[in-house]
Amino acid sequence: MNQKKQIKTINILHIDSYNQYGGAQKSTVNSLKAIGSSLKLSKLHLNSSDNNKYNDSEYNLNHSSNCNYNFNFYVIHNTNKVYEEELNNIGIPNFSIQMKNFGDIFAIIKIAKFLRKYKIDIIIFHSSKDQMLGGIACFLSGRRIVKILTRHVAYNISMLKGFLIYHLLTDHYIAISKYIKNILINNLRIKENKITVIYDIRFTGYGNNSDNSNKKNNQYYYNYNNDNREQINNLENKTEIEIKSGIETKTAEKTKPAMATETEIETNKTINNINDVKMEFDIRENEKIISIIGRLSNEKGHATFLNAAKQIIKKRKDIKFLIIGSGDLFDTVKEFIINNNLSNYIIMTGFKKEVEKYISASDLIVVPSGLEGLGGIIVESCMEKKAVIASNVGGIPEIINNNLTGILFEKDNFNELSDKILDIIDDKKMLNDLGTNCYKKITEEFNPYKLAEENIALYCKLVKKFHL
């Protein structure tokens, strides 16, 4: 009798020492979520007595293509409560370890123990700090572990630091844009064959029509039509999820007729978002909304946004500017607004978990970054079919073709930014065309399920290359 060949299980750990929930963390959540649609997702049993411990029935993903492995995914984070909640929502085993600095020996020991206990085969870093802590832990664990760095940021690295961390503690690199790939090659002398470009996965649903209520008991039910994969029905609720070209929609129950078209649903949700946001911040119906979204830090260009807003407010009193996010510069930005008597026009919202709602309610999104690996918020804005004005830096031009899928301006040039905002803010057709064109580009080139397949293919390639 022929025995069925046992499928090998590959254990993959993401380690993230950043203690806030930002673009990199959101990308990891969406990546794992999208991978879950490309693979068959088995049920995760959580040990309810301890949120930081999971029993032996892990989040198990069985790929049905030529890459014939099972994958277990884990995340170690730096006591990041928002991140923990998002990972729990999609059923990813995650563990909290305090990681204070590059030489935190206690964190290194805990990570090394984790690597041995869960027999980790591949570890994925998201920063230099992750690399240092995780890289040393890999050595102490005594296991042969493939080390991957996902490079999210666009700034250069010194050769000394680069040699130690990037050459000694890393086996392969994921660059989230072609721009970052060039930095790795030109600045750090990384060999091109050790770098794979995979764009950040910043969404798994599609715009206003996305429905994130598809989980039940930490299971997702997907039909990946592009590969003609097996459809898994939620028989209990008699609903199904269809993914067509990566677009996630939830069909009505078979016994009920469709009540509205996709366009009608999208339009109604946009209207509701606009009404909700304007009510939340006491914005009048005829006033326009221009938003900047992201961490308040120097590289994100809030000074450029504020100075451009100040110029515009001199000419227009019917525009409200939303600053959505938190960070080290929060008090500095607040002080600028007060000192320049702009409080009636510029609103600081603080951190908002569901940024899609605020994107949807905005007339225009501004991304004035001085440094940007890719510009994930641009991807999210385009998924809401919103026009974007962004600085011409980093990986942003890989998303925005000037005057076609968005508008570019010279970084730090707030006069140019204010002029370009005033040029288009009342041009509804231009705003609509820019948003629609960018939406088309994103759904083709940034398809989350295509990017998930690229991640899976890389894991399989490395498993074979390093004989795991």
| 230 falls within a domain | no
| 243 falls within a domain | no
Residue-wise pLDDT tens digits, 122-140: 999 999 999 999 999 999 9
Residue-wise pLDDT tens digits, 168-222: 889 999 999 999 999 999 988 899 999 999 999 887 654 443 433 333 333 322 2
77, two tokens: 């984070």
Supply the pLDDT for residue 167: 80
Share of the chain above pLDDT 90, in %: 66
**pLDDT at residue 38 tops 50:** yes
Supply the pLDDT for residue 261: 62
**Lowest-pLDDT choice from 54-68, 155-169, 323-337, 341-355:** 54-68
The candidate with the shortest Cα–Cα distance to 288, out of 321, 266, 337, 325, is 321
Do 23 and 108 lie in one domain? The reply is yes
Give, in order, the Cα–Cα distances in Å from 106 to each of 100, 113, 239, 289, 327: 9, 11, 48, 47, 27
- CA angle 199-379-246, nearest 5°? 70
Q: How many domains does the chain have?
A: 2
Q: With cut-offs at 50, 70 and 90, classify the pLDDT of residue 305.
A: very high
- Find the domain containing 361 and state its range: 266-445
Do 189 and 281 lie in one domain? The reply is no
| 26 falls within a domain | yes
| 255 falls within a domain | no
Q: For residues 52 and 178, which has the higher predicted lDDT (pLDDT)?
A: 178
Supply the pLDDT for residue 362: 98
Share of the chain above pLDDT 70, in %: 78
| 361 falls within a domain | yes
Residues 6 or more apart from 128 whose CB is under 8 A from it? Answer: 102, 157, 161, 165
Q: With cut-offs at 50, 70 and 90, classify the pLDDT of residue 325.
A: very high
Supply the pLDDT for residue 39: 72
Angle between helices 302-315 and 414-424 (to 10 degrees): 50
Do 317 and 394 lie in one domain? The reply is yes
Q: Do the beta carbons of residue 86 and residue 215 sit within 8 Å?
A: no
Give, in order, the Cα–Cα distances in Å from 159 to each of 101, 163, 175, 188, 376: 21, 6, 18, 6, 28
Residue-wise pLDDT tens digits, 140-182: 999 999 999 999 988 777 666 666 777 888 999 999 999 999 9
Q: With cut-offs at 50, 70 and 90, classify the pLDDT of residue 389.
A: very high
| 244 falls within a domain | no
